């Protein structure tokens, strides 16, 4: 697989960031000529009645390398696309990480960040950057919900609880935010503070939890607080698949003080429970059972809680159970609910909760699905439930909305049997069904397989998944789309599957592949090509989609299409 056909350097300067942020203002306009007089953006020789966007979640690009399943996977169809063997295909790598997508430099992308940029069609500053900036400019300690939560425990002579995914994977949380809260509590004279750690091992290397715990304990000791009070693997408190039995395990630890293990120190119990590979009687960090450490206190009436996770999809179930009287989780039946709790959400987890929010969500309109809906193209949106929020909430500019003229299809993910196939077969059939439908003109579908299998870091399973994706998904869908004269764009939200050394996301580029039936002559003579700018990123996918769709108008807030036409 060749990905070095153009310069796809990860180098990024403030100059290129400004150019990317202002591409609609400072570069060529959509469907207009460049100053050179012979190049136009968004000027396909023809446009299509129907356009399909396929998002291969976690499908990054990398030549070789240790534990890269692409090295052995038999993927003739994918290679035929990247090599343009059929003559109707344009391909180039595009960026999906760091400042390209509103994150700190060189930081790996994630599903919510990737889909946020994919749907918006422009670079969206992410919550991590916004919160980090608040720490830098010292406005963090002036956030009213934080002040109110700390005042609440002082008035009640109660305890401040900080719940957090304790890692620097930056997908859900940051230790910098936790440490700043500890420092703020110390400065305000908070007497009792308890940190409840959720262990990662998914977006960071397995075995790093002990380092994060030691750093946290050092900060706690510096400000006169007890060590981390409890820990549990993230799969329990951060379940998002409505598996209330998992949420119940975390709730019992945090509210009822129930744990499978108790220990004086973290290191003492961690070394007994932890394993780097699946081993009988031991656990990966994300699967760790609930453990209480010396100094533990449960959340009780009159306390305050700050949940430091800023990503909202994996915070809802636990927040719902602790704070919402209407929560119908089975484990809550017959339990007396907490009273007089001041519970602060780092960002808005759900507007229906009516809870204090430290950093209110910044919504964005004129996204791809909204544009297709409002312009009456009757789009279809599909993904298995594992990625449902990504093709709706995140893709739609962080808005909780279902558009009136949009159809949605979300087959349930099976988390207990994570096979290479997952629900790809059902989604493939849905796409094939859409191809036959006349009314809907645009479809957005996410295949979660590369990301979910990539997180397992199982080389053989990843190789099998890539081969399945090639023969049973890409080949069948693209073949049918070509027959029906439908344009297809294939891309990804971030890297993962191409580097299984740690099972986490990567900052490698991702593919932009456009299959354009009938464009063979324009591609062959070089008059139709893709912009070769080194800073081209996934936020240029949406305008490219709209460029290809007959009758579609691209919102002015979006960046330029990647399609370029040379006058010959």
- Tens of pLDDT, residue by residue over 487-543, are 999 999 999 999 999 888 999 999 999 999 999 999 999 999 999 999 999 999 999
Say which residue, 381 or 437, is predicted with more confidence. Answer: 381
**37 with 476: CB under 8 angstroms?**
no
- Tens of pLDDT, residue by residue over 78-98, are 999 999 999 999 999 999 999
Going by C-alpha positions, the residue among 91, 29, 45, 26 that lies closest to residue 567 is 45
Please identify every residue annotated as catalytic. Answer: 111
| CATH classification at residue 327 | 3.40.1450.10
Output the pLDDT for position 220.
98
Output the pLDDT for position 10.
28
Say which residue, 279 or 456, is predicted with more confidence. Answer: 456
Average pLDDT over residues 37-41: 62
Residues 289 and 189 in one domain: yes
Average pLDDT over residues 109-137: 94
Output the pLDDT for position 40.
67
Task: Give the model's confidence band at 26: pLDDT under 50 very low, under 70 low, under 90 confident, else very high.
Answer: very low
CA distance linking residue 560 with residue 41, whole number of Å: 7
Residue 22 has pLDDT above 70, yes or no: no
Angle at 298 between CA 280 and CA 252, to 5 degrees: 45
Question: Three-class SS of residue 85?
Answer: coil
Look at residue 492 and tell me if it is in a domain: yes
**449 with 464: CB under 8 angstroms?**
no
Residues 287 and 239 in one domain: yes
Output the pLDDT for position 364.
93
10-14, 139-143, 394-398, 440-444, range with the lowest pLDDT: 10-14
Look at residue 75 and tell me if it is in a domain: yes
Output the pLDDT for position 311.
87
Residue 20 has pLDDT above 90, yes or no: no
Task: Give the model's confidence band at 251: pLDDT under 50 very low, under 70 low, under 90 confident, else very high.
Answer: very high
Task: Give the model's confidence band at 372: pLDDT under 50 very low, under 70 low, under 90 confident, else very high.
Answer: very high
- What is the tally of structural domains in the chain? 2
Residues 324 and 441 in one domain: no
Outline where DSSP puts E strands in 466-562: 487-491, 510-515, 528-530
Output the pLDDT for position 208.
95
Look at residue 162 and tell me if it is in a domain: yes
Residues 144 and 227 in one domain: yes
Residues 72 and 199 in one domain: no
Look at residue 301 and tell me if it is in a domain: yes
Other residues' Cβ atoms within 10 Å of the Cβ of residue 144: 10
**191 with 336: CB under 8 angstroms?**
no
pLDDT > 70 fraction of the chain, expressed in percent and rounded: 92
Residues 312 and 455 in one domain: no
Output the pLDDT for position 568.
56
Domain that holds residue 465: 49-91+98-125+363-379+393-509+539-566
Mean pLDDT of all residues belonging to the chain: 91
Look at residue 175 and tell me if it is in a domain: yes
């Amino acid at each position: 697989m060749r990905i070095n056909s153009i310069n796809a350097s990860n180098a990024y300067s403030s100059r290129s960031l400004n150019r990317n942020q202002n591409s609609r203002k400072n570069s060529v306009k959509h469907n207009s000529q460049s100053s050179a007089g012979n190049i136009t953006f968004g000027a396909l020789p023809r446009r299509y009645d129907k356009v399909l966007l396929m998002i291969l979640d976690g499908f990054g690009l990398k030549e070789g390398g240790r534990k890269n399943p692409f090295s052995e996977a038999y993927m003739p169809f994918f290679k035929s696309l990247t090599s343009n063997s059929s003559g109707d295909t344009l391909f180039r790598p595009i960026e999906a990480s760091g400042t390209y997508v509103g994150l700190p430099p060189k930081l790996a992308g994630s599903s919510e960040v990737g889909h946020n940029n994919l749907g918006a069609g422009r670079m969206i500053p992410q919550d991590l950057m916004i919160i980090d900036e608040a720490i830098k400019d010292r406005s963090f300690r002036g956030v009213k919900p934080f002040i109110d939560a700390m005042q609440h425990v002082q008035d009640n002579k109660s305890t401040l609880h900080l719940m957090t995914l304790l890692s620097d994977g930056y997908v859900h949380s940051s230790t910098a935010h936790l440490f700043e809260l500890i420092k703020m509590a110390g400065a305000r004279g908070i007497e009792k503070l308890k940190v409840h750690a959720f262990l990662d091992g998914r977006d960071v290397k397995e075995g790093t939890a002990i380092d994060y715990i030691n750093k946290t304990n050092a900060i706690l000791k510096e400000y006169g607080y007890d060590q981390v009070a409890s820990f549990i693997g993230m799969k329990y408190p951060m379940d998002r698949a409505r598996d209330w039995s998992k949420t119940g395990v975390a709730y019992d630890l945090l509210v009822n003080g129930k744990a499978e293990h108790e220990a004086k120190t973290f290191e003492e119990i961690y070394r007994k429970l932890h394993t780097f590979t699946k081993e009988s009687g031991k656990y990966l960090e994300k699967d760790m059972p609930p453990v209480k450490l010396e100094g533990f206190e449960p959340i009780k009436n009159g306390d305050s809680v700050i949940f430091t996770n800023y990503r909202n999809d994996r915070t809802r179930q636990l927040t719902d159970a602790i704070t919402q009287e209407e929560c119908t989780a089975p484990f809550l039946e017959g339990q007396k609910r907490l009273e007089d709790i001041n519970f602060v959400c780092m960002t808005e987890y759900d507007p229906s909760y009516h809870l204090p929010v430290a950093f209110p969500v910044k919504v964005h309109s004129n996204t791809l699905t909204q544009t297709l809906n409002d312009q009456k193209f009757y789009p279809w949106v599909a993904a298995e439930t594992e990625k449902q929020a990504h093709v709706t909430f995140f893709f739609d500019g962080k808005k909780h909305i279902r558009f009136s003229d949009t159809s949605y299809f979300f087959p349930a993910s099976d988390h207990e049997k994570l096979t290479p196939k997952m629900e790809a077969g059902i989604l493939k059939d849905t796409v094939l069904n859409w191809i036959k439908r006349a009314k809907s003109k645009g479809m957005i579908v996410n295949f979660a397989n590369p990301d979910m299998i990539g997180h397992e870091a199982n080389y053989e399973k990843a190789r099998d998944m890539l081969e399945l994706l090639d023969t049973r998904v890409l080949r069948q869908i693209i073949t049918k789309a070509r027959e029906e004269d439908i344009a297809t764009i294939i891309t990804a939200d971030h890297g993962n599957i191409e580097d299984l050394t740690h099972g986490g996301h990567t900052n490698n580029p991702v593919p932009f592949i456009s299959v354009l039936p009938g464009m063979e002559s324009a591609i062959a003579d070089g008059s139709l090509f893709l912009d070769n700018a080194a800073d081209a990123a996934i936020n240029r996918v949406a305008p490219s989609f709209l460029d290809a769709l007959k009758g579609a108008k691209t919102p002015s807030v979006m960046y330029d299409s990647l399609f370029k036409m040379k006058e010959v």
